[in-house]
């Protein structure tokens, strides 16, 4: 067990897919076996996009159920709902006062919204709410409230973690050492898993395989993976094949070596390769899916895990917030 504190938030905006699993969820579950981890469902961060409470609630359950079903070690990991800890809003309000407005103007997500508006010939701030504009301050509050050392994120979130570090620095300069300076950590497979069309698997490209897809849906999706037009007897390149790239993350070393040989030597059609991939992924995910389906019909069990997590998170959050309150207000 190391002394490092790992923290990450997952936004409840849709069903996680195989890319999220390989790039983010699997490494987090592994790391939580040996590191003190805070993992929360970032429902407040979803509010600037999702205005339907039933959707947020449903997606919150889905993510919590997936993490529990994947076997998250709930001794080392504190799993909770962001909005259950009121200190995060309080800290966010405090941090506003040391955060330069110019920093928010430089945020990639805000700039992307402005660029889109400009391209459509609209006012650059059209449709931009303060939730989107101040998103990085709330995220800094998440990170600093729990004394995080490392924040595993995808590449698109790296700037937000750097902002949290900047904001902690501004605060410490004015009020004395109060916050640790966190670091973003980007895992080796983050963002690298291809989707059905060969581009990065992503909700925004409509090319995903949902992690908890039922068996028949999983099979249908895998059969739809786009391949090149090589005939069965031709040798094929495993390293550019979506099928092989997915297989690598579910099979054993021996199985991976065997499929690589079959690709390179020819004699295996893509249809056969897809069947091998389906059988492998399905065998890994079936027990997880069963636990997930059970939890989704017993949400009181999820509520109790989240309530326990909130109680443990609150102990740290109240102590940090009290430190900040005293530093700022005397």
Q: Binding residues for ligand ADP, per CB under 6 A?
A: 19-20, 22-24, 153-154, 156, 189-193, 200-204
* Spatial separation of the C-alpha atoms in residues 85 and 101, rounded to whole Å: 26
Closest CA to 5 of 27, 38, 50, 47: 38
Q: Give Cβ neighbours of residue 154 (< 8 Å, ≥ 6 apart).
A: 23, 24, 186, 190, 191
Q: Residue 137, interface with ligand TRP (CB under 6 A)?
A: no
For residue 296, the minimal CB distance to ligand TRP (Å) is: 22
Q: Tell me which of ligand TRP, ligand ADP, none is bound by residue 8, counting a contact when its beta carbon lies within the kind-specific cut-off of 5 to 8 angstroms.
A: ligand TRP
For residue 152, the minimal CB distance to ligand ADP (Å) is: 7
For residue 254, the minimal CB distance to ligand TRP (Å) is: 35
Q: Tell me which of ligand TRP, ligand ADP, none is bound by residue 95, counting a contact when its beta carbon lies within the kind-specific cut-off of 5 to 8 angstroms.
A: none
266 burial level (CB within 10 Å; 0-12, 13-18, 19+): middle
- Residue closer to ligand ADP by CB (options 103, 192) is 192
* Spatial separation of the C-alpha atoms in residues 55 and 58, rounded to whole Å: 5
* Spatial separation of the C-alpha atoms in residues 278 and 38, rounded to whole Å: 33
Q: Residue 42, interface with ligand TRP (CB under 6 A)?
A: yes
Question: Quick one: which segment of 137-145, 166-174, 205-213, 216-224 binds ligand TRP (CB under 6 A)?
Answer: 137-145
- Residue closer to ligand TRP by CB (options 259, 306) is 306
Q: Residue 95, interface with ligand TRP (CB under 6 A)?
A: no
Q: Tell me which of ligand ADP, ligand TRP, none is bound by residue 167, counting a contact when its beta carbon lies within the kind-specific cut-off of 5 to 8 angstroms.
A: none
Q: Residue 9, interface with ligand TRP (CB under 6 A)?
A: yes
Query: What does the block give as tokens for 210?
Result: 């949902």
Q: Tell me which of ligand ADP, ligand TRP, none is bound by residue 192, counting a contact when its beta carbon lies within the kind-specific cut-off of 5 to 8 angstroms.
A: ligand ADP
Closest CA to 24 of 245, 210, 193: 193
Q: What length is written for the chain?
A: 330
- Residue closer to ligand TRP by CB (options 57, 230) is 57
Question: Quick one: which segment of 8-16, 47-55, 197-205, 224-232 binds ligand TRP (CB under 6 A)?
Answer: 8-16
Q: Residue 211, interface with ligand TRP (CB under 6 A)?
A: no
Query: What does the block give as tokens for 309?
Result: 């997590």
For residue 20, the minimal CB distance to ligand ADP (Å) is: 4
- Residue closer to ligand TRP by CB (options 41, 251) is 41
Query: Contact with ligand TRP (CB under 6 A): which of 69, 151, 168, 277?
Result: 151
Query: What does the block give as tokens for 186?
Result: 């980007």
Cβ neighbours, 10 Å, residue 59: 21
* Spatial separation of the C-alpha atoms in residues 101 and 107, rounded to whole Å: 10
Question: Quick one: which segment of 4-12, 90-98, 123-131, 245-253 binds ligand TRP (CB under 6 A)?
Answer: 4-12
* Spatial separation of the C-alpha atoms in residues 171 and 221, rounded to whole Å: 49
Q: Tell me which of ligand ADP, ligand TRP, none is bound by residue 143, counting a contact when its beta carbon lies within the kind-specific cut-off of 5 to 8 angstroms.
A: ligand TRP
| Residue showing the smallest CB distance to ligand ADP in the complex | 23
> Can you list the alpha helix ranges (DSSP code H) found in the chain?
18-20, 26-31, 43-46, 53-69, 87-96, 101-105, 108-119, 130-133, 135-145, 158-175, 215-223, 242-247, 253-265, 270-296, 299-329
Contacts with ligand TRP, residue ranges (CB under 6 A):
7-9, 11, 42, 45, 139, 142-143, 151, 153, 157, 160
């Amino acid at each position: 067990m190391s002394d490092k504190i790992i923290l990450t938030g997952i936004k409840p905006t849709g069903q996680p897919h195989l890319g999220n699993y390989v790039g983010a969820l699997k490494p987090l579950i592994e790391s939580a076996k040996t590191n003190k981890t805070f993992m929360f469902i970032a429902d407040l961060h979803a509010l600037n996009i999702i205005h339907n409470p039933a959707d947020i609630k449903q997606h919150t359950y889905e993510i919590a159920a997936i993490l529990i079903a994947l076997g998250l070690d709930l001794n080392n990991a504190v799993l909770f709902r962001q909005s259950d800890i009121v200190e995060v809003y309080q800290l966010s309000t405090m941090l506003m006062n040391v955060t330069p407005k110019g920093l928010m103007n430089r945020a990639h997500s805000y700039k992307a919204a402005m660029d889109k508006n400009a391209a459509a010939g609209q006012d650059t701030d059209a449709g931009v709410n303060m939730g989107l504009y101040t998103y990085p301050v709330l995220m800094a509050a998440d990170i600093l409230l729990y004394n995080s050392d490392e924040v595993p994120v995808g590449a698109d979130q790296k700037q937000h973690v750097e902002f949290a570090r900047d904001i902690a620095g501004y605060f410490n300069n004015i009020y004395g050492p109060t916050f640790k300076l966190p670091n973003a950590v980007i895992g080796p497979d983050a963002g690298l898993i291809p989707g059905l069309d060969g581009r990065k698997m992503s909700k925004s490209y409509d090319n995903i395989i949902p992690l908890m897809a039922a068996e028949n849906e999983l099979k249908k999706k895998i059969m739809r993976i786009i391949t090149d037009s090589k005939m069965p007897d031709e040798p094929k390149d495993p390293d550019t094949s979506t099928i092989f790239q997915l297989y690598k993350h579910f099979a054993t070393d021996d199985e991976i070596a065997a499929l690589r040989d079959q690709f390179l030597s020819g004699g295996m059609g893509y249809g056969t390769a897809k069947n091998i991939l389906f059988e492998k992924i399905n065998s890994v995910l079936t027990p997880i899916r069963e636990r997930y389906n059970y939890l989704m019909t017993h949400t009181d069990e999820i509520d109790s895990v989240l309530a326990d997590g909130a109680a443990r998170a609150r102990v740290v959050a109240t102590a940090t917030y009290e430190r900040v309150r005293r530093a700022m207000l005397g």
